[in-house]
Amino acid sequence: MSRQNPCGPPPAYVTNVKQTGYMQMKREEARERNVQTEKGQYLAGLKKYRDQGIAIIIDGEELPEKDWNKIFEIREDDSFYMADFVPDGETGKLREIRFDRVYYR
């Protein structure tokens, strides 16, 4: 035997709030997956450049691939990493990709 609400079904706006919260959560999860996918694709592109002999420089050092995720960090001081594509002076071909911290003010 099922119990029924003596006041009737909840108003539509109550039901919509629950669905809206659930849908918002799903959208946020999808957005986060998309961001992670984009980061992965970007890092895969950097790896291809490195495999072609192009140096990937972060904060003045050629860091191992496991440390490349730091280029996505936004720090408490509002600094972030910006890429510079450095060509060879003689040939004009890409020589290195440098990531340096810049400050947003």
- The per-residue pLDDT for 25 is 83
Whole-number Å distance between alpha carbons of 60 and 99: 8
* Average pLDDT, integer, range 22-28: 82
Reported in sequence order, the residue ranges of the chain that DSSP labels E, i.e. its strands, are: 55-58, 79-87, 94-103
Q: Is the pLDDT of residue 7 over 80?
A: no
Reported in sequence order, the residue ranges of 34-93 that DSSP labels E, i.e. its strands, are: 55-58, 79-87
pLDDT tens digit sequence for 64-104: 999 999 999 888 888 899 999 999 999 999 999 999 999 87
Residue 84 has φ and ψ, to the nearest 5°, of -120, 130
pLDDT tens digit sequence for 30-52: 888 877 888 999 999 999 999 99
pTM for the model: 0.66
Domain boundaries, the chain: 12-103
Whole-number Å distance between alpha carbons of 71 and 79: 11
